[in-house]
Chains A and B, each alone.
Chain A
Amino acid sequence: QKEVEQDPGPLSVPEGAIVSLNCTYSNSAFQYFMWYRQYSRKGPELLMYTYSSGNKEDGRFTAQVDKSSKYISLFIRDSQPSDSATYLCAMMSRGNFNKFYFGSGTKLNVKP
């Protein structure tokens, strides 16, 4: 079993829709949860991070962590064509010397 599971999509939505992206994980030691955005032919860049459980909001983006269910989500409100990209979740635990574990990425297409 992979440590981090993510639905690869693709996910296609109309402009203005609410998007929900999700990852599940198996390692209860994970404490840091990140979402990276990767545009075509570019390297991933950090979009949001959350420590432990709870929600974090940044503009149109909300990250949620449910450690009891080992489940994290990224919500995008009022999605825009510029949000079209691949979204990767990533996780790490302090006890593993900052090694990062990535999901396989979900490809999102927001249609104008």
Chain B
Amino acid sequence: DADVTQTPRNRITKTGKRIMLECSQTKGHDRMYWYRQDPGLGLRLIYYSFDVKDINKGEISDGYSVSRQAQAKFSLSLESAIPNQTALYFCATSDTGSHEQYFGPGTRLTVT
């Protein structure tokens, strides 16, 4: 089984709808991250969490919220989806003090 899983893998939704993307990990890492990837812009950090009680905004947090339900689970919500949130979303984990991040397979989100 994959160490970092994301659900759903693909989602099409309409403008104004609320949507939640979920991430689970079995690596036992404390740190979890949400990124979005857009062509030409690379990976941009939305939110990150260094433990269950720690949530931090990244560079593009507007329009998004997160919840760290447990060490292994980190969900990303779009309260009212808009078309420019159409992107590929990745969850990642890392161990404290480590240089390496482990990425999930991504969620392709389309907002119409």
| CB-based nearest B residue for A6 | B42
For residue A92, CB closer than 8 A to chain B, the reply is yes
Taking a contact as CB atoms under 8 Å apart, the answer to whether A34 and B99 are in contact is yes
Main secondary structure of the interface of B (DSSP, over half): strand
Taking a contact as CB atoms under 8 Å apart, the answer to whether B106 and A102 are in contact is no
| CB-based nearest A residue for B42 | A104
Taking a contact as CB atoms under 8 Å apart, the answer to whether A43 and B42 are in contact is no
| CB-based nearest A residue for B50 | A97
| CB-based nearest A residue for B58 | A99
Given A43-B90, A98-B94: A104 in contact with B99 (beta carbons within 8 A): no
Taking a contact as CB atoms under 8 Å apart, the answer to whether B99 and A43 are in contact is no
For residue A104, which residues in chain B have a CB less than 8 angstroms away from its CB? 40-42
Taking a contact as CB atoms under 8 Å apart, the answer to whether A42 and B105 are in contact is yes
Count B interface residues, CB 8 Å. Answer: 26
Taking a contact as CB atoms under 8 Å apart, the answer to whether A45 and B103 are in contact is yes
Per-residue CB proximity of B1-23 to A under 8 Å, as 1/0? 00010000000000000000000
For residue B98, CB closer than 8 A to chain A, the reply is yes
For residue A17, CB closer than 8 A to chain B, the reply is no
Task: Give the residue of B45, B97, B103 whose beta carbon is less than 8 angstroms from that of A44.
Answer: B103
| CB-based nearest A residue for B90 | A43
Taking a contact as CB atoms under 8 Å apart, the answer to whether A42 and B99 are in contact is no
For residue B94, which residues in chain A have a CB less than 8 angstroms away from its CB? 98, 100
For residue A46, which residues in chain B have a CB less than 8 angstroms away from its CB? 100-102
**Which residue numbers of A lie inside 8 Å of B, CB to CB?**
6, 8, 32, 34, 41-46, 49, 51, 88, 90, 92, 97-100, 102-105
Other than the known A46-B100, A105-B42, what 19 A-B pairs have Cβ atoms closer than 8 Å? A6-B42, A34-B99, A34-B100, A42-B105, A42-B106, A43-B4, A43-B90, A43-B105, A44-B90, A45-B102, A46-B101, A46-B102, A49-B100, A98-B94, A99-B45, A100-B45, A100-B94, A100-B101, A102-B43
